[in-house]
Amino acid sequence: MEQFSEFVGNHLILFSLLAAVSVALVLNIWAGISAPGKSVTPPSLIQLINHESAAVLDIRDREAFERGHIMDAVHIPVRTLQENLVQLERYKQGGLVVVCQAGNLAAQATGILAKSGFTDLYRLQGGISAWQSENLPLTRE
């Protein structure tokens, strides 16, 4: 135990950084677990689209959306989501899958949607990055 205290004292900056990263990691995991909606994998998303007529909401910025998105995705950047909820009214009771770049912002967006009365919400686990890693198609149309 004495060696641990000495180590921490000698490497205070590194130990502080380790503690900060650990806290950030725990908070990020907790935010994903407590976020409204269910987390789905890319293959599960395909099933939702094909068999349950789920809609896809892409919340990335315009440039990222134009580089490639899931076919027929509705595009509303997360920073303007609250002001544009009226565009999503027809999806309020049906399945709505929120997609971002890596899966982190989708939790924030599902929180906004849940507070606005959306009930059947999903988040694409890993976002478009996971979609692409599964070699699934993106469109630019």
113 touches 98 (CB < 8 A): yes
- The answer as to whether 140 is a domain residue is no
Paired residues of 55 in beta bridges? 96
pLDDT in tens, 11-69: 778 767 777 776 655 555 554 444 678 999 999 999 999 998 899 999 999 999 999 99
Q: What is the pLDDT of residue 84?
A: 94
Check whether residue 21 and residue 43 sit in a common domain.
Answer: no
Lowest mean pLDDT across 15-19, 96-100, 108-112, 131-135 = 15-19
For residue 139, being part of any structural domain is answered with no
pLDDT score recorded for residue 28: 53
DSSP 101: S
Residue 46, domain member (yes or no): yes
- Tokens 């004292």 map to which residue? 9
Instruction: Say whether both 17 and 83 belong to one domain.
Output: no
Higher pLDDT, 24 or 118: 118
Entry pTM: 0.75
Q: Is residue 141 included in any domain, yes or no?
A: no
Structural domain containing residue 44: 36-133
**Number of structural domains found in the chain:** 2
Give the residue carrying structure tokens 């900060």. Answer: 20
pLDDT at 103: 85
- CATH number of the structural domain spanning residue 74: 3.40.250.10
Contact (CB, 8 A) for 133 and 39: no
Which DSSP state fits 71? T
Whether 100 is catalytic: yes
End-to-end CA distance of the chain: 61
Catalytic residue of the set 97, 100, 109, 124: 100
- Same domain for 69 and 127: yes
